[in-house]
Amino acid sequence: MSSLAAVLAQAAPGLTAGPAAAAPTPTITVPDIEWTALLPILVLGLGAVLLLTLTSLARGTVTRSGYAIYTVLVATGAMATAAPLWGRVHAWDHLGKWELSPPYGPFSAVAGAIGVDGFSVFITLLIGVAVILGALLADDYLRREGIDGPEYYVLLLLSATGGVIMAMANDLIVLFLGLETLSIAVYVLAAIHLKRVQSQEAGLKYFVLGGFSSAFFLYGVAMVYGATGSTNLVQIKDLLAVKVPTHNALLLIGLGLMLVGLGFKVAAVPFHSWSPDVYDGAPSPVAAFMASGVKAAGFAGLTRAFLLGFGQFASDWQPVLYFLAAASMLVGAIVGITQTNVKRALAYSSINHAGFMLMALQAASPKGVTGLLFYLATYTFMTVGSFGIATLAGRTGDGHHDLADYRGFSRTNPALAGLFVLFLLGQSGFPLTSGFVAKFGSIAAAVDAGSWHLAVIGMVSAAISAFIYLRIIVAMYMAESDTEAAEKAPKAARIKVPFGAGLALVACALATIGFGILPNGLNRVAGEAEPVLVKEPVPAAASGADGAGLTGLDLTTIPTTPTTR
């Protein structure tokens, strides 16, 4: 228990000065560190720092495309280091010719602060994909908008680091650190377009509200700590297994407050109010990353904290998630159809999607997790594709996002319009796109868990939200009136698709169709990506400090004995 501080110091090497920072005290034991488990985090974090260092040392020698290529390589590297973990978790002997090291099966590392299981590896890979797509989209965008320097890529990699930490967190404080690493980088990303006041406004709004919600999250963690005596999910679970708190008000309120912070990150109603403004104001590639990578990390946090750590209390938090899911689906759909700005409409649609994912999560079943992961994976491609089109259609200045700006889009840019239709149909849950299978899985999980009404609400909201997408499609395929056509020069109407963005869009399109027709492979992988809490084998030196000695705090009998210090 008391080794926690040391553990935390190891868990987030990007934020602290390293192992040396944890000054040894009589009660603190330095845990063994399973470096392979930390590799994805290290590659992303150090990759970011390295990029920043190198470019500040040798400014001007690297072209801006070089940054994007570097970022893609780093993300690929992180994914490559995550792949052997997947093999280990699933007890493969080797990956190709690469012998994998024991222990096989899911495991905890760094004194239980980091959990490596199928779930965390899946989310890690997903965040890697989001980073790659985000970098590809941004390459031309940054050049077009005259945003100099490698900062975008550095921040992208750093926020991905935070996301991966969240995905692997087995400790609420580690989760908090990951959340903040992720968020702080994204606050800056949202505000990175210095020439657009909207971008800075979005950054500040996101920052203020994000800090606000993080404080709620942290307060929740504090209460959980007070109620259980630990922030480590493994220990909490062990404690709850042997001792059901009779007065669990503190614990439940703490859980509620944690839900505020995580619900904010995934833009669940009623914590959604920032998302339309921020998606609208932030540079479009950043919005793409926020809707994909950040959301994936947020759901990873929700799953780990609630499903894993407090699975026992499922009957307590399920109604709340139920409420959030229903509200998100309905508000996202209903308010979304009144929007006249494409990026705002996509933001509301993203709220609607968050509702569907929450619906899968609230089932609190393996099927629900599978549905959630499948949804996250397919949704990443659809939403990045949609925001990718918006990136291109926004043109220089990133301001052409009104529905009216999309009139006649099918004439001027038939290929882009066709892709957009595909992504929008996918998001609406059109059959034979991945969105249909995803919605199906989510609804099936809810039905299995007996959440009838929620499933019905989901279907109704899907029907309503179809109009969000329909409006955009209609706008694109409506003829431009003569006067409007004359006003715009033909060469401005035609958008040249840069290589990077084109690659990202084609990848998204292939994924949207591919996972729609043949969802089996992804579904199986998502099914194997189970989240598990594994207790780390207790090192001999620390045997005195395991969960058995824990006592929860009983508010009615606050201990009055003086402390040892």
Query: What whole-number distance in Å separates Cα of residue 222 and Cα of residue 487?
Result: 60
- Nearer to other proteins by Cβ, of 164 and 257: the residue is 257
Residue choice 44, 75, 167, 188 for contact with other proteins (CB under 8 A): 188
Tokens of 132: 């790659």
Under the binding rule (CB under 8 A), the answer on residue 211 touching other proteins is yes
Residue choice 180, 238, 398, 536 for contact with other proteins (CB under 8 A): 180
Residue 88 DSSP class: H
Under the binding rule (CB under 8 A), the answer on residue 83 touching other proteins is no
Window 491-520: residues binding other proteins (CB under 8 A): 517-520
Residue choice 107, 207, 289, 381 for contact with other proteins (CB under 8 A): 207
Spell out, one character per residue from 218 to 247, where the chain touches other proteins: x when CB under 8 A holds, - when not. xx-xxx-xx--xxx----------------
Angle formed at CA 343 by CA 322 and CA 484, multiple of 5 degrees? 145
Distance linking the first and last C-alpha atoms of the chain: 17
Which one of 53-61, 87-95, 293-301, 336-344 is the stretch in contact with other proteins (CB under 8 A)?
A: 336-344
**Least distance in Å: CB of 242 to other proteins?**
17
Angle formed at CA 45 by CA 8 and CA 202, multiple of 5 degrees? 100
Under the binding rule (CB under 8 A), the answer on residue 312 touching other proteins is no
**Least distance in Å: CB of 149 to other proteins?**
14
Cβ atoms of 189 and 162 closer than 8 Å: no
Under the binding rule (CB under 8 A), the answer on residue 69 touching other proteins is no
Under the binding rule (CB under 8 A), the answer on residue 270 touching other proteins is yes
- Nearer to other proteins by Cβ, of 338 and 396: the residue is 338
Under the binding rule (CB under 8 A), the answer on residue 397 touching other proteins is no
Window 11-50: residues binding other proteins (CB under 8 A): 12, 15-16, 25, 27-28
Under the binding rule (CB under 8 A), the answer on residue 359 touching other proteins is no
Under the binding rule (CB under 8 A), the answer on residue 437 touching other proteins is yes
DSSP letters of 45-71?
HHHHHHHHHHHHHSTTSS-HHHHHHHH
Under the binding rule (CB under 8 A), the answer on residue 299 touching other proteins is no
Which one of 121-129, 298-306, 332-340, 502-510 is the stretch in contact with other proteins (CB under 8 A)?
A: 332-340
Number of residues that bind other proteins (CB under 8 A): 111
Find where tokens 């996002």 sit. Answer: 401
Residue choice 441, 458, 498, 531 for contact with other proteins (CB under 8 A): 441
Cβ atoms of 57 and 117 closer than 8 Å: no
Helix ranges (DSSP H) in 312-451: 314-336, 342-362, 366-393, 409-412, 414-428, 434-448
Window 518-557: residues binding other proteins (CB under 8 A): 518-520, 523-524, 551, 553
**Least distance in Å: CB of 98 to other proteins?**
30
Cβ atoms of 38 and 109 closer than 8 Å: yes
Residue 116, phi then psi, degrees to nearest 5: -110, 115
Residue choice 45, 128, 150, 276 for contact with other proteins (CB under 8 A): 276
**Least distance in Å: CB of 143 to other proteins?**
21
Window 278-297: residues binding other proteins (CB under 8 A): 278, 280-281
Residue 103, phi then psi, degrees to nearest 5: -80, 145
Q: Are strands 98-99 and 107-109 parallel, antiparallel or unpaired?
A: unpaired
Which one of 29-37, 69-77, 170-178, 393-401 is the stretch in contact with other proteins (CB under 8 A)?
A: 170-178
Cβ atoms of 403 and 473 closer than 8 Å: no
**Least distance in Å: CB of 503 to other proteins?**
18
Residue 28, phi then psi, degrees to nearest 5: -100, 130
Angle formed at CA 442 by CA 437 and CA 443, multiple of 5 degrees? 100
Using alpha carbons, list the distances in angstroms from residue 214 to 37, 173, 232, 329. 27, 12, 19, 23
Under the binding rule (CB under 8 A), the answer on residue 256 touching other proteins is yes
Window 88-147: residues binding other proteins (CB under 8 A): none
Under the binding rule (CB under 8 A), the answer on residue 401 touching other proteins is no
Using alpha carbons, list the distances in angstroms from residue 396 to 196, 347, 406. 11, 21, 15
Under the binding rule (CB under 8 A), the answer on residue 277 touching other proteins is yes
Under the binding rule (CB under 8 A), the answer on residue 435 touching other proteins is no
Window 415-434: residues binding other proteins (CB under 8 A): 430-432
Under the binding rule (CB under 8 A), the answer on residue 486 touching other proteins is no
Spell out, one character per residue from 365 to 394, where the chain touches other proteins: x when CB under 8 A holds, - when not. --x---------------------------
Query: What whole-number distance in Å separates Cα of residue 453 and Cα of residue 334?
Result: 18
Residue choice 106, 203, 283, 368 for contact with other proteins (CB under 8 A): 203
Helix ranges (DSSP H) in 394-533: 409-412, 414-428, 434-448, 452-477, 482-487, 490-493, 499-517, 520-528
